[in-house]
Chain A
Amino acid sequence: MLIYLLRRLNLLVLTALVLLGLLYIASLKMPGDTLTNLSGVTHPSQEQVARLTERYHLDGNGLQGYLAFVRQRLTGDFGLSQASGRPVLNELLQVIPATLELTILALLLALLVGIPLGVLAAGRRGPLPNLLWGGTLLGFSVPTFWLGLLLMLTFGLSLDALPASGRINLLYDVPFVTGFMLVDILLSDAPWRWAALWDAINHLVLPTLVLAALPCFIVIRTIRAAMLAEMDKNYIRALMARGVPRYRLVLSHALPNSLAPMLRLLSLQLGQIASGVIIVEMIFTWPGIGSWLLAAQYQGDHTALTGGVLVVALSIIVLTILLEIAQALLNPVIRKEIHG
């Protein structure tokens, strides 16, 4: 197990270095002044130029420059945002909680809805499994941005039932403590706190639904496939022969075993989920990392863009490896496949 962990760690470091290399090359190739793109200082004075050139080793060879870039980024110096002049890291810390709040809620919803539906879809009688099967196929094919627009159009604008954009009504001035809106509201002791909480939840409904849609369909299909495979196995037949009731067979024997592929699947879908987050945040003007990245792109703020991309990609890499380790902990067979 120790060797396995060391290998994964090795992989993490190597992938991160390759990623930083790609980003370094991208920052060198981006239009505009290289020094500005790396540091985010838009109109550097003479001494600033000298200091930054030394810090980023731009006068040295490419390798030195790369190593200096890696050192800067890993010590938490992401440069300044060219648009606002504030450190990129501070801006990131402001927007990341909003994204996390939305993503975590959406994933929870996807699992809560997806697992029971997946079990139902694995049934062999009645029209329900076929309906669910067709439904997921249709759901896979709907473009996320289009689904978001349609829901916003019907529930947000035509029916006026739910707010169509933003995180909370601007009337409520919630102090920034953790950045998680629901937590912040509960922490504040304002008299309008319950009204604000209700408002924040209303704002969450549409983005969470749209973001949860794709993972939910994936969960349904995976659970269904895994359940069908499990139900054919011998241990299930043995239990059936002993007269174990069907609901116990499914819930306490087949289901736990078919949850294992879920982790693997989630780790493969992280990129898709991240894409979905960006689209959803853009449609519902959710002030998270996705809309922040898009704003940086439209403003030509290359420092902020590379910083944000680095954070998104690094978190995906770390999560993938954590999920892999979790799988190895749960399933000893995987530990043997060291080279993967």
Chain B
Amino acid sequence: MAKPQLYHEESIPSPWHQIWRHFKARPSAVIGLWGLGLMVALSLFGAYLAPYSAQQQFSDQLLAPPSWHSDGSVLFFLGTDALGRDLLSRLLHGAHITFGFAGLIVVLALGVGLVIGTLSGTSQGLRSSVLGHLLDALLSLPSLVLALLFAAVLGPGLQNVFWAVGLALLPGFVRVVHNAIHEEMQKQYVMAARLDGASPWQLLRFAIWPNITDVVVLHTTLSFSTAILDIAALGFLSLGAHAPSPEWGAMVREGVNNVLSAPWTVTMPGLAILFGVLATNLVGDGLRHAIAEERG
């Protein structure tokens, strides 16, 4: 029921509300959001939905084709791999490694990047320069090269992925936060708040942070898709998740040996990665447009 309007009050939608309105108007963005939601749900509950465990082997069903193939069976919906493991179950079990792990890394990198970026963005001169450029050496190391180093020091495993991808993403966050804060600090409303006697913390909390959130959220979605691709690439090069692990990149690696006789062992995990990254990119793209429209 519509609210009766008693007074001629003009309700001004909040910036977030406006961004959401623009976001909603793009079908591709909404599709992306649904896809992203689906992926999040699968990485949380995928293990419970999977018909079999990730390592269960059916020795009479080696390299069974997907169910729509004339030789396929619906019991193994996406077919099986060279060890007779059900691909669908493995994909569902692997969702939380490729997808969930990416989310965890991005959130942590966001937190640390926000702190360092704020410190360097609000300080000036030499201190800002040092803090801002401290991570440049890391920025020059791509995640793959970092992972090579970590794998040499720590031995292969998922902890490499964590450090390598996290450290590779961190400088980007620091830079984005630093630049955004630097830009906001020049504006008049910050000066007005300062003249009103706001302490540095209040200035940050009530004036600057709310106005850089959109940029930071946008960068987070972009980093998220980078993180998924990186984790899968590391799994593929066996620098990260290892062979029996149902990580999607590692699954592609395992499938390569049978790629001629059973192409689905390579295409299915690849399509899963593609779907996850595409959904994230659609959301990111929608956000970018919405922010651009909202800012005019």
- Taking Cβ atoms with an 8 Å cutoff, the residues of A that contact B are 11, 14-16, 18-19, 22-23, 26, 29-31, 134, 137-138, 140-146, 149-150, 153, 157, 270-272, 274-275, 278-279, 282, 293-294, 297, 300, 302, 305-306, 309, 312-313, 316-317, 320, 339-340
Q: B249: CB under 8 A from chain A?
A: yes
Contact A293–B281 (Cβ < 8 Å): no
B294: min CB distance to chain A, Å: 17
Contact B152–A26 (Cβ < 8 Å): yes
Contact A313–B237 (Cβ < 8 Å): no
Please classify how large the interface on chain B is, using the bins under 10, 10 to 19, 20 to 34, 35 or more: 35 or more
Contact A320–B140 (Cβ < 8 Å): yes
- Taking Cβ atoms with an 8 Å cutoff, the residues of B that contact A are 28, 124-125, 128-129, 132-134, 136-137, 139-145, 148-149, 151-153, 155, 168, 225, 229-230, 232-233, 236-237, 239, 249, 252, 256, 259-260, 263, 266-267, 270, 273-274, 277-278, 280-282, 285
B151: min CB distance to chain A, Å: 6
Closest to B171 in A: A271
A275 / chain B contacts, CB cutoff of 8 Å: 142-145, 230, 233
B225 / chain A contacts, CB cutoff of 8 Å: 140-141
Contact B237–A271 (Cβ < 8 Å): no
Most buried by B among A11, A271, A293: A271
List the 4 shortest-distance A-B pairs measured between CB atoms, nearest first. Answer: A271-B142, A146-B270, A141-B277, A141-B278
Given contacts A11-B133, A282-B237, A339-B128, contact A137 B141 (CB under 8 A): no
Contact B233–A279 (Cβ < 8 Å): yes
Most buried by B among A29, A141, A317: A141
Select B140's contact among A138, A140, A317, beta carbons within 8 Å: A317
Given contacts A150-B270, A294-B237, contact A145 B249 (CB under 8 A): yes
Contact B237–A279 (Cβ < 8 Å): yes
B137 / chain A contacts, CB cutoff of 8 Å: 15-16, 18-19, 22, 313, 317
B151 / chain A contacts, CB cutoff of 8 Å: 297
